[in-house]
Amino acid sequence: MKGIEPILENNRKWVDKQRAADPQFFERLADGQKPRYLFIGCSDSRVPASAITGTGPGEMFVHRNIANMVINTDFNLLSVLQYAVEVLGVQDIMVVGHYGCGGVAAAATNKQYGLIDGWLTNIRDVIRVHETEFLRIKDEEQRLRRLVELNVIEQVRNLAKTSIIQNAWKTANPPRLHGLVYDIKEGLLKDLEVEGGLVGELDHIYGTKSNNAHAEKVVEEQVGEDVIEKLPSLQIDQEESKNHKKSEEKKLHKVS
């Protein structure tokens, strides 16, 4: 067999297998889709979305690109996200990275690769944000593994910043966001448990409805820090205030 003949042969075998197990399988699929999940993953051929999640046709909506990026100028990604959330009503959205990601590894170097360089800049922004932690790791393999995780975390945060998700979070059944990493050597998915706290953390800035609670808390904390830093000067001011008060009292006594 040459070319795509193996693909066509495998397809026929798969159809026969599905019909044998469930004669109405394809008829039901043709009626429409109602997937529970949106999978945003890497294009790497070693990370087949349905295979590693154990999902079948109709169960998961899928978008893939180099290094599983969520970029607010990527209309391909945003179109998929909006359709999945607002039309299909997915319940869980997963950003799935994988250890050994070539895109992440390329971004960690200063080399130029051509057209993809602009895309890799978004991963280098992740390095910039987490530079202290990234450079603290001496082992190169462990450093890249951690960068894969940090990239997933930041892409989940980017999801949460979109007006699509901000609006969805105000509905009765908002979608849940997840950050996962696939270990090719083990075949296992690792949950980075990213979502907790994202609503309160980001809504006051990126939310589509004003919410000042978080901002007020930040201001109070900042004011508290400023007061602590200025305690020595405040003590001097307090002493001067006391002396001034005593002086004024003496003047009042003389007048009376």
**Tens digit of pLDDT for each residue in 152-198?**
999 999 999 999 999 999 999 999 999 999 999 999 999 999 875 56
- Indicate if 98 belongs to the active site: yes
130 labeled part of a ligand binding site:
no
Q: Are residues 80 and 154 in the same domain?
A: yes
Contacts of 164 (CB under 8 A, 6+ apart): 78, 81, 82, 85, 86
C-alpha to C-alpha distance for 3 and 5, rounded to whole angstroms: 6
Beta strand 60-65 with 188-191 is unpaired
Q: Are residues 86 and 168 in the same domain?
A: yes
Q: What domain count does the chain have?
A: 2
Domain termination site, one of 175, 195, 210? 210
52 backbone dihedrals φ, ψ, rounded to 5°: -80, -15
- Between 137 and 254, name the one with better pLDDT: 137
C-alpha to C-alpha distance for 189 and 186, rounded to whole angstroms: 9
* 12 falls within a domain: no
CA 179 to chain centre: 7
State the amino acid at position 55 in one-letter form: T
Indicate which residue of 42, 130, 157, 178 is catalytic: 42
Given this model, what pLDDT does residue 151 score? 98
Indicate which residue of 19, 28, 46, 176 is catalytic: 46
Residue 107: how many other CB atoms lie within 10 Å: 26
C-alpha to C-alpha distance for 171 and 123, rounded to whole angstroms: 31
Domain termination site, one of 192, 210, 228? 210
Q: Are residues 57 and 159 in the same domain?
A: yes
| 65 pLDDT higher than 90 | yes
- 3-class secondary structure, 32: coil
Cβ pair 182, 189 in contact under 8 A: yes
Tokens standing for 51? 């295979």
Mean pLDDT of 99-127: 96
- Indicate if 101 belongs to the active site: yes
* 171 falls within a domain: yes
Q: Are residues 202 and 225 in the same domain?
A: no
* 13 falls within a domain: no
Reported as a single tens digit per residue, the pLDDT across 14-39 is: 999 999 999 999 999 999 999 999 99
Q: Are residues 150 and 232 in the same domain?
A: no
Q: Are residues 226 and 136 in the same domain?
A: no
pTM over 0.85: no
Tokens standing for 118? 């602009």
Mean pLDDT of 85-103: 98
Q: What is the pLDDT of the chain when averaged over all its residues?
A: 87
Reported as a single tens digit per residue, the pLDDT across 132-141 is: 999 899 999 9
C-alpha to C-alpha distance for 256 and 253, rounded to whole angstroms: 5
125 labeled part of a ligand binding site:
no
Strand order in the sheet with 60-65: 60-65, 37-42, 92-98, 176-183, 188-191
| 72 pLDDT higher than 70 | yes
Q: Are residues 228 and 163 in the same domain?
A: no
Q: Are residues 94 and 144 in the same domain?
A: yes
- Indicate if 44 belongs to the active site: yes
Given this model, what pLDDT does residue 2 score? 83
Residue 183: domain span: 33-210
42 labeled part of a ligand binding site:
yes
Q: What is the 3-state secondary structure (H, E, C) of 37-62?
A: EEEEEECCCCCCHHHHHCCCCCCEEE
Indicate which residue of 63, 98, 157, 178 is catalytic: 98
Given this model, what pLDDT does residue 256 score? 43
226 labeled part of a ligand binding site:
no
